[in-house]
């Protein structure tokens, strides 16, 4: 609600790959849990609807997001799954690959409680400290629009980061590193000034030199931002996996939620 969300669509996709005829039984089993979640959200003031389509989860979730005019998708990840999902066709990977709206990937922890497995969210207050990682590409600029929305929603602390990519600079351009830092700090400072005008009280600038994913993850590990905002490139999430993209590696390993903003398709 802090981000202005008023309506929620709860989606449980019944994926019957080999067991034909079980869809109704699975739906009946899921409905009580969905009703509990629906009631909990309604108690917090949300308008909630429930969808239980039969099909392939990634396809159905992204289809419903467009059909219901959703502004974003929230999906949980156990972390290791995004690496393993390449071969297994996992839901989180497939949703991010297909989505035409931003996807918030939330890290989950599975714990044993009272003889049952309980799913817990590792981070809940997304407005406490936002990390925006940018390569100054067109889609990173699009992702900045969502950073602005976080600012308008009351986020008081933000970190803007651009990593000087060592693979592009070393060895032939290292003598220009200070020049690049000055240019990029000026870019980040313009963004920071705008965010301060929107009400952000503390804006920190980071321009490390190294491998982008490694530097971003190191910052996340040491500073525990409540959310990370990144743009994705147009070649697609699955292609990104095989070329080791920054967005994929950060999403797979980050302990903080990651908001991935897709390009306009």
What are the tens digits of pLDDT across the range 155-172?
999 999 999 999 999 999
- Helix 81-88 and helix 91-98, axial crossing angle in degrees, nearest 10: 80
What pLDDT was estimated at residue 88? 30
- Indicate if the pLDDT at residue 18 is higher than 60: no
What pLDDT was estimated at residue 118? 65
CA distance 90 to 137: 28
Structural domain contains residue 64: no
DSSP E strands in the chain: the ranges are: 7-11, 47-51, 73-77, 103-113, 116-121, 130-133, 157-161, 164-165, 202-206, 209-210, 227-231, 258-261
Q: Which of 55, 81, 96 is the last residue of a domain?
A: 55
Structural domain contains residue 231: yes
Burial zone of 217 (CB within 10 Å; 0-12 exposed, 13-18 middle, 19+ buried): buried
Q: Are residues 135 and 227 in the same domain?
A: yes
122: β partners: none
Q: Are residues 93 and 136 in the same domain?
A: no
CA distance 261 to 115: 38
CA distance 135 to 114: 46
Structural domain contains residue 239: yes
Q: Give the percent of the chain with pLDDT over 90.
A: 67
Structural domain contains residue 66: no
CB distance 231 to 90 below 8 Å: no
* pLDDT band with cut points at 50, 70 and 90 for residue 122: low
What pLDDT was estimated at residue 26? 86
CB distance 135 to 109 below 8 Å: no
- Indicate if the pLDDT at residue 74 is higher than 70: yes
Q: Are residues 189 and 154 in the same domain?
A: yes
Q: Are residues 7 and 41 in the same domain?
A: yes
Instruction: Specify the range with the lowest mean pLDDT, choosing from 100-104, 116-120, 258-262.
Output: 116-120
Cα separations (Å) of 134 from 41, 76, 192?
33, 24, 13
What pLDDT was estimated at residue 241? 45
What pLDDT was estimated at residue 4? 85
Q: Are residues 134 and 253 in the same domain?
A: yes
Q: Are residues 87 and 151 in the same domain?
A: no
Instruction: Specify the range with the lowest mean pLDDT, choosing from 169-183, 190-204, 243-257.
Output: 243-257
CA distance 25 to 61: 20
Q: Are residues 29 and 148 in the same domain?
A: no
Nearest CA to 169 out of 182, 161, 160, 181 is that of: 181
Mean pLDDT of the chain: 87
Positive or negative: CA dihedral 104, 121, 153, 213: negative
- Indicate if the pLDDT at residue 98 is higher than 60: yes
What pLDDT was estimated at residue 89? 38
- Indicate if the pLDDT at residue 242 is higher than 50: no
Q: Are residues 114 and 196 in the same domain?
A: no
**Which of residues 80 and 51 earns the better pLDDT score?**
51
Structural domain contains residue 67: no
Neighbouring CB atoms inside 10 A of 176's CB total 11
Q: Are residues 206 and 238 in the same domain?
A: yes
Q: Are residues 234 and 165 in the same domain?
A: yes
User: Can you give the CATH number for the domain in which 151 is found?
Assistant: 3.40.50.620
Burial zone of 206 (CB within 10 Å; 0-12 exposed, 13-18 middle, 19+ buried): middle
Q: Are residues 229 and 198 in the same domain?
A: yes
Q: What is the mean pLDDT of residues 196-215?
A: 97
- Indicate if the pLDDT at residue 146 is higher than 90: yes
Q: What is the mean pLDDT of residues 78-89?
A: 47
Q: Give the percent of the chain with pLDDT over 70.
A: 85
Q: What is the mean pLDDT of residues 71-86?
A: 69
Structural domain contains residue 246: yes
User: What is the span of the domain harbouring residue 108?
Assistant: 72-122
Cα separations (Å) of 215 from 32, 93, 257?
44, 23, 17
- Indicate if the pLDDT at residue 86 is higher than 60: no
What pLDDT was estimated at residue 80? 53
CA distance 103 to 146: 12
Burial 2-28 (b: 16+ CB within 10 A, else e): ebeeeebbbbbbbbeeeeeeebeebee
Structural domain contains residue 136: yes
CB distance 42 to 7 below 8 Å: no
Q: Are residues 136 and 243 in the same domain?
A: yes
**Overall domain count for the chain:** 3
Structural domain contains residue 104: yes
Instruction: Specify the range with the lowest mean pLDDT, choosing from 74-83, 101-110, 168-177.
Output: 74-83
What pLDDT was estimated at residue 79? 55
């Amino acid at each position: 609600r802090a981000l202005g969300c008023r309506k929620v669509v709860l989606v449980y996709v019944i994926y019957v790959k080999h067991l034909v005829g079980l869809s109704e039984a699975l739906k009946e089993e899921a409905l009580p849990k969905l009703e509990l979640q629906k009631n909990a959200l309604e108690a917090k003031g949300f308008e909630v609807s429930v969808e239980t389509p039969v099909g392939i989860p990634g396809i159905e979730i992204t289809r419903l997001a467009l059909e219901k005019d959703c502004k974003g998708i929230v999906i949980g990840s156990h972390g290791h799954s995004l690496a393993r999902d390449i071969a297994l066709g996992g839901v989180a990977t497939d949703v991010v690959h297909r989505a035409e709206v931003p996807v918030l990937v939330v890290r989950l922890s599975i714990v044993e409680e009272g003889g049952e497995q309980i799913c817990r969210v590792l981070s809940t207050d997304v407005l406490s400290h936002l990390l925006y990682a940018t390569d100054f590409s067109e889609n990173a600029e699009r992702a900045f629009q969502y950073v602005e929305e976080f600012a308008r929603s009351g986020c008081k602390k933000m970190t803007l980061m651009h990593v000087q990519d060592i693979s592009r600079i070393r060895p032939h351009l290292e003598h220009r590193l200070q020049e690049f830092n000055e240019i990029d700090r000026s870019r980040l400072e313009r963004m920071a000034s705008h965010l301060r005008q929107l009400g952000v009280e503390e804006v920190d600038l980071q321009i490390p030199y190294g491998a982008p994913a490694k530097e971003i993850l190191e910052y996340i590990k040491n500073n525990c931002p409540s959310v990370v905002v990144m743009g994705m490139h147009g070649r697609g999430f699955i292609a990104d996996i095989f070329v080791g993209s920054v967005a994929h590696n950060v999403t797979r390993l980050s302990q903080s939620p990651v908001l991935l903003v897709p390009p306009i398709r």
